[in-house]
Chain A
Amino acid sequence: MRMRALLLAVLLLTGCAAPVQDGVRLTFWTWVPGMDALARKFEATHPGIRVKVVNAGQTKDTYTKLQIAVRAGRGAPDLAQIEYSALPQFAVTKQIADLSALGADALRDRFTDSAWAQVSIGGRVYGVPQDTGPMVMFYRRDVFDRLGLTPPRTWAEYVETGRRIKAADPQVRLGFLDPGDPGTVDGLLWHAGATPFRLRDNTSVTLDLTGSPGARAVADTWSTLLREELVAPVPSWTDEWWKAASAGRYATWLAGAWAPANLAHAIPESSGKWAVAPMPKDSPGEAENGGSSVAVVAGSEQQAAALTFATWLNAEPEGAGLLNRELGLFPATRALLRDPAFLDQELPFFGGQRANRVFAAASDGVRPGWHYLPYQPYANTQFKDTVGQAIVNRTALGPALADWQRRIADYGREQGFTITTGG
């Protein structure tokens, strides 16, 4: 009798341990709030796969933890959100799975060229694009109207607009340049057609932050803007910066299409005073600033199921649509970027402007061929002490960019990369 009870208990226990035969449980690290609701919708249509969404911290925190956990062989998730700028590092160090081997190449046509290029490293795919940040010029319509200005279309007009603003109202600046943010400068270089970082294969890198006409044009324009004090050298996201933005003391902000969400949440009182225009340009071509992908972690034992989720979330109309509508991410899929319902939205924050059309046009025109370094996070840490110093001191940006390049090259060589510099 006792034996039978024991047997029954054992059977019950084992039964409880494996309730569903084909039950796959995935863990997904992301920093986007509200992702949990999307995972529940995925589960509704994909019985057998459960997704646990974990907000494991923001970008840098997540990367640190991910690297430690992957090396320890324990505690790592199955999927992780990784920015385009950090993806090559994880791919080259083999901490994330090669998705080409799992058939992800078939997803190529669903995404914009630039998004796909940024998840492709050495001809293999390492992430499913989630969102992009086509760069545009946000500007204060109220300030421009008050001073009788029109949005500048070329960089010469941009500088000229800065001079007229400064002359008309010394309290207002044309814009700002963050001495701690390499992303904006990267975006400006990209936009001007420079390719400062090029990854030839997994071990050799070509650097050119100063030699190309594009890079020289960026350095010239922004050295002038800084020298004449037309733009403020202030760190963004600070109390002081938000106050100035709220009061309309920066007439323009060059940023990715993700910026409206931040503006609307942090300084809602400025709603209706903003407008969107393409970035000033001297030759056709656009750029991106930011954006991220979902990668499958190398040690995951459920890589196929993980890719199924990443595909539903980012490539299928349902998931991609929810990412945009519910979470405010700017789409990376071609389908959504061509969807009239998306394009014709009149955004109240921009006074009813159909801003998505401007964003989508920028996304369409993104210059191909942009890459980040396999050690971009390190390179970014060196920005503050080189280019950042020049920004703060309003000195010429050219030598500072050269200084940044030298540090990036030195570190790359120490890490065993073959580094070529210059055009």
Chain B
Amino acid sequence: MLLMLGYALLPLVWLFVSATKSDADLFSSFGLWFGGEFSLWDNIKRVLAYDNGIYLSWFGNSLLYAVAGAGGAALIATLGGYALAKFDFPGRRWLFLLVLGAISVPGTALALPTYLLFAEAGIVDSAWAVILPSLASPFGLYLMRAYALEAVPDSLLEAARLDGAGELRIFGTIALRLLAPGLVTVLLFALVATWNNYFLPLTMLSTPERFPLTVGLRQWNALANGGSGGGEAMYPLLLTGSLLAIVPLVVAFLFLQRFWQSGLATGAVKG
């Protein structure tokens, strides 16, 4: 257990320690302990100031893409999963098989056709080009269907219908609440996926001001070790930028895990 914990946390420790080092200490002091001077604040200031503060734009973009993309994906998956689980309509089985099939298609394989499609629509190099594909989450849909099957009793829906509630109202007031833990789970998955998404924004975007953190940091990384002349000492910027980039995900996990854990536990015991 401790071994696993150490194994999982070691890269984070290294990242944090490295981000506190000055340029000179970075390559001359031991990797897992602090260098001579504590330069974290200085490094953060440099990260935020570099190239007219482009890091902040990347940060904002990542937030936008993650919130709009993952939030939308979770909502659509919930709606779809609920519909697949609770409504009987022609072609339901085939639709479900289609979703199962879609899970096995890696997003990278779809990037090129999606680009061609979006190029026709004239939305490449815009936020839409990143957000729209993120909205489709077949795995989330599959998960929500499985969850809705168990978490929303048919008798409850029937009772509501007998009381004269419309389907939208039933979904909004009853089903959505029951589905909330599943929704949060899907949201977390989608959040991590969109936050870490690299290839899609890489192909879609060419204006640096629209890059998310993944593409932007990778650009700094290449600047740091490419033979392209010019530039500054990029490694401290890169490391500090990477450290800042994981903060929102950590916050999201700490904040959402309460919903997630309590949700998974409910219904697990006999009522």
A33-B223, A242-B27, A266-B27 known; A327+B119 contact, CB < 8 A:
no
Q: Tell me whether B24 and A68 are in contact (CB under 8 A).
A: no
Q: Which of B115, B202, B206, B223 contacts A72 (CB 8 A)?
A: B115
With an 8 A cutoff between CB atoms, is B172 at the interface? no
Contact of B233 with A133 in the complex, beta carbons under 8 Å: no
Give complex CA distance A330, B207 in Å.
27
With A32-B230, A61-B202 as known contacts, state yes or no: A247 contacts B125, CB within 8 Å.
no
* Between-chain CB contacts (< 8 Å), 8 pairs: A57-B202, A58-B218, A68-B115, A69-B206, A72-B119, A73-B119, A239-B31, A255-B227
User: Do the beta carbons of B115 and A265 come within 8 Å of each other?
Assistant: no
User: Which of these, B119, B225, B229, B234, contacts A131 with CB under 8 Å?
Assistant: B229
**How many residues in B have their beta carbons less than 8 Å from beta carbons of A?**
37
* Residues from chain A with Cβ under 8 Å of B208 in the complex: 54-56
Minimum CB–CB distance for B109 against chain A, Å: 13
Contact flag A258-B227 (CB < 8 Å), given A55-B219, A57-B218, A265-B233: yes
Given A57-B202, A258-B229, 17 new contacts (CB under 8 A): A31-B219, A31-B223, A31-B228, A32-B230, A57-B215, A58-B218, A58-B222, A59-B222, A64-B202, A68-B112, A75-B125, A242-B235, A243-B27, A256-B227, A261-B230, A261-B231, A330-B229
Q: Which of A33, A72, A246 contacts B28 (CB 8 A)?
A: A246
Q: Which residues of A contact B229 (CB under 8 A)?
A: 32, 131, 258, 261, 327-330
Quick one: given A65-B202, A243-B27, A246-B27, are A54 and B223 in contact (CB under 8 Å)? no
Q: In the complex, how many angstroms separate the beta carbon of B58 from the nearest chain A beta carbon? A: 12
For A235-266 the 0/1 string (1 means CB < 8 A from B) is 01101001101110000000110110110011
Within 8 A of B (CB), among A43-69: 54-59, 61, 64-65, 68-69
Q: Which residues of B contact A156 (CB under 8 A)?
A: none
- In whole angstroms, how far apart are the Cα atoms of A191 and B206 in the complex? 37
Q: B21-52 toward A: CB 8 Å interface, digit per residue (1/0)? A: 00110111001000000000000000000010
Check if A127 is an interface residue, CB within 8 A of chain B: no
Among A61, A72, A75, the most chain B Cβ lie within 10 Å of the Cβ of A75
- Nearest first, the 7 A-B pairs at minimum CB distance are A58-B222, A237-B225, A328-B229, A72-B119, A74-B119, A258-B227, A327-B230
Judge if B53 is at the interface, Cβ distance under 8 Å: no
In terms of DSSP, what is the predominant structure of the interface of chain B?
helix
Q: In the complex, which of the residues A239, A256, A266 contacts B233, with contact meaning CB atoms closer than 8 Å? A: A266
| Chain A hits for B151, CB < 8 A | none
Point out the residues of chain B lying under 8 angstroms from A77, CB to CB.
Answer: 206
Partner of A31, one of B124, B222, B225: B222
Give complex CA distance A175, B51 in Å: 35
Could you tell me the distance between the alpha carbons of A327 and B233 in the complex, rounded to whole angstroms?
Answer: 14
For A329, the chain B residues whose CB sits under 8 A away are 229-230
Nearest-CB residue, chain B, relative to A58: B222
| Bound-state Cα–Cα, A265 to B220, Å | 13
- B residues bordering A, Cβ < 8 Å? 23-24, 26-28, 31, 51, 112, 115-116, 119-120, 122, 124-125, 202-203, 206-208, 215, 218-219, 222-235
Contacts of A61 in B (CB 8 A): 202, 218-219, 222
Whether A268 pairs with B23 at a CB distance below 8 angstroms is yes
For A258, what are the chain B residues with a Cβ–Cβ distance below 8 Å?
A: 227-229
- The A contact surface, by secondary structure, is mixed
Q: How far is the CA of A28 from the CA of B23 in the complex (A)?
A: 32
> CA–CA, A327 to B231, complex, Å?
8
In the complex, what residue of chain B is closest to A256 when comparing beta carbons?
B227
Question: Counting CB contacts under 8 A, is A267 at the interface?
Answer: yes
Contacting residues, chain B, for A267 (C-beta < 8 A): 27
Q: Report the interface size for chain A: residues with CB under 8 A from the other chain.
A: 49
- CA of A269 to CA of B29 in the docked complex: distance in angstroms? 12
Pair A56/B226 contact, Cβ less than 8 Å: no
Tell me the complex Cα distance, A246–B28, Å.
7
Contacts of A29 in B (CB 8 A): 206
CA of A58 to CA of B219, assembled, Å:
6
Tell me, yes or no, whether A134 is within 8 Å of chain B by CB.
Answer: no
B231 closest partner in A (C-beta): A33
Within 8 A of B (CB), among A333-386: none
A327 vs B228: C-alpha distance in the bound complex, in angstroms? 9
- Which residues of chain A are within 8 angstroms of B219 by Cβ–Cβ distance? 31, 55, 57-58, 61
* A258 to B225 CA separation, bound complex (whole angstroms): 11
In the complex, whether A423 has a CB less than 8 A from a CB of chain B is no
Closest CB in chain A relative to B127 CB, distance in Å: 15
- Closest-by-CB residue of A relative to B229 is A328
Nearest A residue to B129 via CB reads: A75
Contacts of B206 on A, CB cut-off 8 Å?
Answer: 29, 54, 56, 65, 69, 75, 77
**When chains A and B are docked, how far (Å) is the Cα of A71 from the Cα of B125?**
16
Q: Mark A269-306, 1 if CB is under 8 A from B, else 0.
A: 10000000000000000000010000000000000000
Q: Which residues of A contact B233 (CB under 8 A)?
A: 265-266, 268
- Evaluate whether A259 and B222 lie within 8 angstroms (CB atoms) in the complex, with A72-B116, A265-B233 already known: no
